[in-house]
């Protein structure tokens, strides 16, 4: 069964380029601004959109995404509102894949069955749940796959060849390769190692490989795009939101534009890395 | 919720790290290989007599075990019921039960060739114990501590620094214990090659809950032997305080299959369960997933973790070890709670009746002994785990009592 995510990666591959995957935090700095940002992303050059589900204790995220989550929660964001936001977006865009990314507890408390029903109905295409390794697949991954959603897994430099098959077994949509061991927004990856790592994972799967962690601007995006099927940018966008806010942490007239400008710039970098269609 | 009563309460966790529905391995992929490596290394150490010989040696000569089982005569007279014994784990080197677990984990870290030790701490007792053993074995030690706790627990911060540890004040989130644990996990995700994460309580991803429990079970094993020696039989009841619950599980576990032994875990009720300002995950929380395991947690309707409150920084955590969640649901252990006020009263009473200044954490357990003991006959043997000494708390207590 082909999903929006499969179709989008097929399309960018046909164009001979990597896909740009953009991450923004739902409800940051407030629900209305965040919806406006998400709606503006496809035109700015985003091929896929990851929407962060804020959580009080994001143990794999760095300061930028932690702060974005707390801003969203402070503005009253909930999982229910995040799903409503996807529904609003989907009403005006039938093609851009939406991936919800976050931690398991809010989903568990919402109820797995109810969440999957509501997410599918809202137009969500895939899930990335950071604290659900393959060892816990019965929790959400297996029911999500049954519900027709893609379950995207993170592979890291610590995921060796012996473990990769286990990680990839129930992965669908794409593989998210985390290019450094560390939290989001932290270290600069050794770019020379990224394409080698992608090649290593490709030996185990036909799924597209998107690479994240350490993409900050057009230049870094271009380097990554040369060696991967997708480029993920997150912390840099979330920082663009933060630096646009006023002294009270409220959105300004510049907020949406700041994110759009950065995404446009990064999208241009990704497109510069055009390669011959494989 | 109906939970089947198992034939034995002492077989957990299962091979996937679960106690019933609780426990598990809810961590980022980067950490999964490390956790599997730790599970393997601990399995090997557990089967190695040399590891146990080393543990026994340091427990006897460095920690000062066995800790006494002391008959609290005046407390018993005061209560007018059960015969009350104190398990004196506050007499351990570093002043609390924490060192039992840290010793085990540090010896394991050295077997694994890890040279850099990280830990989280709330009140600072686990941090001090970790800094102590890192000093003893020449390992680098980094302790994450919420910035709020750094302010509240200055003497322990100074102790850790004296012992050569680096104390990192955590500014993220609510800047208390749970955030310190988040930050330690972030460090571990970043420094996967050389770092060992020494978790301070019987919680976190498998294999930590079972491993920390095993290291703390020395408390319960000694209690069994000592009580047999003193009274010729097992105790009738056990009482211990619970934050994450490592001192409690250490005392309880060797007795879980002795069905006649009543077991009471005491959570921190803060200003009272009904006020919402408490740290009683079982009484006031519900099952959720945090810090690598499924367990009872304090949270809002959206699944966002809320802050615990307790006068005792060591109980001020919005979760509880997963084995306690299971023992709660199966009904084997009865979980009750004591308020700040009750703990303060018990703190003063034990100091004045027995000349023992308890930490605020076990003061919660003593507070419930004051209620339970009078209801029992005079031949009822009750053991309360005095898991820490109160030196660190005298300023907090003085503040609450309006100065000395």
Q: ipTM of this predicted complex? A: 0.95
Active site residue A113: no
Total of domains in chain A: 1
Task: Give the DSSP letter string of B15-74.
Answer: TTSEETTEEEEE--GGGHHHHHHHHHHHHHHHT-HHHHHHHHHHIIIII-PSPPEEE-HH
Coil/strand/helix, residue A78: coil
Taking contacts as CB-CB distances below 8 angstroms, the residues of chain A near B28 are 59-60, 130-131, 133, 154, 156
A13 touches chain B (CB under 8 A): no
Interchain CB contacts (distance < 8 Å): A and B: 121
Q: Which of A91, A79, A90, A62 is nearest to A27 (CA)?
A: A79
**Amino acid A1: pLDDT:** 64
Strands, DSSP E only, in A140-189?
150-151, 153-155, 175-178
Taking contacts as CB-CB distances below 8 angstroms, the residues of chain A near B182 are 57-59
Alpha helices (runs of H) in B355-389, residue ranges in sequence order: 360-372
CA distance B249 to chain A (A): 25
Q: Which of A152, A197, A200 is nearest to A176 (CA)?
A: A152
B288 touches chain A (CB under 8 A): yes
B229 touches chain A (CB under 8 A): no
Return the exposure string of A42-72: e unless at least 16 CB atoms fall within 10 Å of the residue's CB, then b: bebbbbbbbbbbbbbbbbbbbbbbbbbbbbb
Measured CA to CA, the distance from residue A182 to residue B128 in angstroms comes to 27
B210 touches chain A (CB under 8 A): no
B28 touches chain A (CB under 8 A): yes
**Amino acid A200: pLDDT:** 94
Measured CA to CA, the distance from residue A13 to residue A8 in angstroms comes to 9
CA distance A274 to chain B (A): 31
Measured CA to CA, the distance from residue B174 to residue B187 in angstroms comes to 18
Q: What is the mean pLDDT of residues B253-276?
A: 97
Domain around A108: 4-277
> CB distance B27–A131 less than 8 Å?
yes
**Amino acid A278: pLDDT:** 41
Containing H/E element for A209? strand A209-212
A131 touches chain B (CB under 8 A): yes
Residue B240 exposed, middle or buried by CB count within 10 Å (0-12, 13-18, 19+)? buried
CA distance A62 to chain B (A): 8
pLDDT in tens, B75-114: 999 999 999 999 999 999 999 999 999 999 999 999 999 9
Q: Residue A230 phi/psi, 5° resolution? A: -155, 155
The answer to whether A51 and A85 have CB atoms below 8 angstroms apart is yes
Q: pTM for this one?
A: 0.96
> CB distance B32–A135 less than 8 Å?
yes
The answer to whether A107 and A80 have CB atoms below 8 angstroms apart is no
B173 touches chain A (CB under 8 A): yes
> CB distance B302–A109 less than 8 Å?
yes
Coil/strand/helix, residue B130: helix
Measured CA to CA, the distance from residue B250 to residue B233 in angstroms comes to 19
> CB distance A60–B186 less than 8 Å?
yes
Measured CA to CA, the distance from residue B309 to residue B276 in angstroms comes to 9
> CB distance B29–A167 less than 8 Å?
yes
Q: Could you tell me which chain A residue has the CA closest to the CA of B37? A: A158
**Amino acid B123: pLDDT:** 85
Alpha helices (runs of H) in A26-162, residue ranges in sequence order: 31-44, 63-74, 79-92, 104-110, 112-122, 141-146
Taking contacts as CB-CB distances below 8 angstroms, the residues of chain B near A71 are none
Closest CB to B192: pick one of A78, A158, A183. A158
**Residues forming beta bridges with residue B168, ordered by sequence position:** B144
- The catalytically annotated residue of A28, A47, A61, A229 is A61
**Amino acid A275: pLDDT:** 61
A108 touches chain B (CB under 8 A): yes
> CB distance B289–A178 less than 8 Å?
no
pLDDT in tens, B303-360: 999 988 999 988 989 999 999 999 999 999 999 999 999 999 999 999 999 999 999 9
A76 touches chain B (CB under 8 A): no
**Amino acid A277: pLDDT:** 40
Tell me which of A257 and B193 has the higher pLDDT.
Answer: A257
Active site residue A121: no
CA distance B34 to chain A (A): 8
Mean pLDDT of chain B: 96
Read off the tokens for A101: 């990314």
Return the CA Rg of chain A: 17
**Residues forming beta bridges with residue B295, ordered by sequence position:** B288
**Amino acid B173: pLDDT:** 81
Q: Residue B158 phi/psi, 5° resolution? A: -65, -40
Q: Which of A276, A245, A270 is nearest to A37 (CA)?
A: A245
Taking contacts as CB-CB distances below 8 angstroms, the residues of chain A near B176 are none
The answer to whether B220 and B100 have CB atoms below 8 angstroms apart is no
The answer to whether A212 and A232 have CB atoms below 8 angstroms apart is yes
Q: What is the mean pLDDT of residues B176-191?
A: 93
Closest CB to A181: pick one of B192, B291, B305. B192
- Confidence check: pLDDT of B262 > 90: yes
Measured CA to CA, the distance from residue B183 to residue B170 in angstroms comes to 7
DSSP state of A188: P
> CB distance A130–B28 less than 8 Å?
yes
Interface with B, mutate which of A131, A169, A175 (most B CBs under 10 A): A131
CA distance A20 to chain B (A): 23
Coil/strand/helix, residue B85: strand
Taking contacts as CB-CB distances below 8 angstroms, the residues of chain A near B197 are none
- What is the CA angle B245-B250-B253, rounded to 5? 105
Please give chain A's pLDDT, 278 residues, in tens: 689 999 999 999 999 999 999 999 999 999 999 999 999 999 999 999 999 999 999 999 988 999 999 999 999 999 999 999 999 999 999 999 999 999 999 999 999 999 999 999 999 999 999 999 999 999 999 999 999 999 999 999 889 999 999 999 999 999 999 888 788 776 677 777 888 899 999 999 999 999 987 889 999 999 999 999 999 999 999 999 999 999 999 999 999 999 999 999 999 999 999 764 44
Residue written as tokens 């004296």?
A: B162
CATH code for the domain of A252: 3.20.20.70
The answer to whether B123 and B312 have CB atoms below 8 angstroms apart is yes
- What is the CA angle B264-B269-B270, rounded to 5? 145
**Amino acid A207: pLDDT:** 97
Closest CB to A104: pick one of B26, B32, B34. B26
> CB distance B27–A109 less than 8 Å?
no
Read off the tokens for A46: 């985003």
Interface with B, mutate which of A56, A79, A102 (most B CBs under 10 A): A56
Alpha helices (runs of H) in B232-273, residue ranges in sequence order: 246-252
- The catalytically annotated residue of A28, A47, A50, A239 is A50
Sequence-ordered list of residues with C-beta below 8 angstroms from that of A179, at least 6 positions apart, any chain: A157, A189, A193, A194, A197, A211, A212, A213, A214, A224
CB contacts under 8 A, A 39-58 vs B, are 55-58
Q: Could you tell me which chain A residue has the CA closest to the CA of B181? A: A59
């Amino acid at each position: 069964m082909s999903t929006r995510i499969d179709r989008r990666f097929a399309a960018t591959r046909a164009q001979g380029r990597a896909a740009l995957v953009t991450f923004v935090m739902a409800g940051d700095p407030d629900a209305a601004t965040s919806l406006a940002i998400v709606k503006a992303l496809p035109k700015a050059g985003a091929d896929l959109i990851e929407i962060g589900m804020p959580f009080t204790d994001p143990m794999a995220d760095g300061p930028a995404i932690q702060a974005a989550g707390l801003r969203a929660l402070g503005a009253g964001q909930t999982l229910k509102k995040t799903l409503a936001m996807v529904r609003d977006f989907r009403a005006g865009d039938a093609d851009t894949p939406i991936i919800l990314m976050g931690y398991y507890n809010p989903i568990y408390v919402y109820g797995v069955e109810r969440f999957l029903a509501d997410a599918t109905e809202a137009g969500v295409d895939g899930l990335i749940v950071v604290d659900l390794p393959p060892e816990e697949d019965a929790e959400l991954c297996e029911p999500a796959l049954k519900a027709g959603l893609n379950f995207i897994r993170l592979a890291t430099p610590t995921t060796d060849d012996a473990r990769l098959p286990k990680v990839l077994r129930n992965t669908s949509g794409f593989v998210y390769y985390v290019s450094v061991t560390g939290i989001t927004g932290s270290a600069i990856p050794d770019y020379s190692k990224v394409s080698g790592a992608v090649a290593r994972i490709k030996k185990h799967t036909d799924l597209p490989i998107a690479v994240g962690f350490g993409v900050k601007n057009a230049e870094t995006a271009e380097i990554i795009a040369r060696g991967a099927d997708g480029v993920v940018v997150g912390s840099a966008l979330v920082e663009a939101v933060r630096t646009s806010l006023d002294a009270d942490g409220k959105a300004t007239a510049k907020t949406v534009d700041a994110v759009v400008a950065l995404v446009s710039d990064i999208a241009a970098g990704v497109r510069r890395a055009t390669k011959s269609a494989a | 919720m109906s939970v089947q009563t198992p034939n034995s309460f002492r077989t957990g966790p299962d091979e996937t790290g679960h106690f019933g529905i609780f426990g598990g391995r809810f961590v980022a992929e980067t950490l999964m290989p490390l956790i599997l490596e730790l599970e393997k290394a601990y399995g090997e150490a557990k089967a190695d007599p040399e590891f146990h010989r080393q543990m026994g040696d340091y427990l006897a000569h460095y920690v000062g075990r066995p800790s006494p089982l002391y008959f609290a005569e005046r407390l018993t007279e005061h209560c007018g019921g059960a015969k009350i014994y104190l398990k004196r784990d506050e007499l351990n080197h570093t002043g609390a039960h924490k060192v039992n677990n840290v010793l085990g984990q540090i010896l394991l870290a050295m077997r694994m060739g890890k040279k850099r030790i990280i830990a989280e701490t709330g009140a600072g007792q686990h941090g001090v114990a970790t800094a102590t053993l890192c000093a003893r074995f020449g390992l680098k030690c980094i302790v994450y501590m919420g910035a709020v706790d750094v302010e509240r627990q200055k003497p322990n911060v100074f102790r850790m620094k004296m012992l050569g540890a680096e104390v990192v004040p955590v500014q993220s989130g609510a800047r208390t214990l749970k955030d310190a644990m988040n930050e330690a996990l972030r460090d571990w995700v970043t420094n996967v090659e050389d770092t060992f994460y020494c978790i301070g309580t019987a919680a976190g991803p498998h294999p930590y809950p079972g491993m920390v429990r095993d290291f703390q079970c020395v408390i319960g094993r000694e209690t069994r032997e000592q009580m047999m020696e003193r009274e010729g039989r097992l105790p009738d009841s056990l009482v211990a305080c619970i934050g994450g619950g490592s001192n409690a599980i250490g005392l309880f576990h060797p007795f879980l299959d002795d069905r006649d032994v009543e077991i009471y875990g005491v959570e921190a009720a803060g200003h009272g369960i009904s006020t919402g300002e408490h740290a009683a995950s079982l009484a006031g929380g519900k099952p959720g997933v945090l810090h690598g395991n499924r367990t009872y947690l304090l949270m809002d309707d959206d699944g966002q973790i809320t802050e615990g409150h307790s006068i005792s920084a060591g109980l001020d955590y919005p979760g509880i070890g997963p084995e306690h969640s299971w023992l709660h649901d199966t009904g084997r252990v009865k979980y009750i709670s004591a308020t700040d006020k009750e703990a303060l009263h018990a703190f003063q009473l034990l100091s004045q009746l027995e000349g023992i200044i308890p930490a605020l954490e076990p003061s919660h357990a003593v507070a419930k002994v004051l209620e339970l003991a009078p209801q029992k006959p005079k031949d009822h043997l009750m053991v309360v785990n005095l898991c820490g000494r109160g030196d660190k708390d005298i300023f907090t207590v003085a503040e609450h009592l309006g100065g000395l």
